[in-house]
Amino acid sequence: MDLSKIKKHNNSTATTESKSVAEFIVKGDARPNQKQKSTMVGFRFDENTLNGLNKLTTETGKTRITIIRASLLAFESLSDSEKARFLIQVMT
Partner 1 sequence: MIILFGSHKGGVGKTTLIANLAVMLQKKTASVAIVRADKNQDLEVWTRFRAEKDVPDIPVMTCYGDISKDIRKLETVTDVVFVDTAGHDSMELRSALTVADIFLTPVKPSSLLEIATLDGLSSIVREAQKKNSSVQGFTLFNRCPTSSFNTDAQDLAEYLKTNPEMLPPLRSCVSDLRPYEKAINQGLGVHEVRAKNASKAKGQLELLFTEIQTKLD
- Positions touching partner 1 (CB under 8 A) are 1-3, 5-10, 13-16, 20-22, 24-29
Quote the least distance from Cβ 30 to partner 1, whole Å: 8
DSSP-derived 3-state class of residue 8: coil
Indicate the residue among 26 and 90 with the shorter CB distance to partner 1. Answer: 26
Indicate the residue among 21 and 87 with the shorter CB distance to partner 1. Answer: 21
- Residues 56, 48: contact at Cβ < 8 Å? no
Residue 90: C-alpha distances to residues 35, 56, 69, 84, 86 (Å): 31, 18, 18, 10, 6
Quote the least distance from Cβ 3 to partner 1, whole Å: 5
Residue 82 CA, chain-centre distance (Å), reads 27
Indicate the residue among 10 and 79 with the shorter CB distance to partner 1. Answer: 10
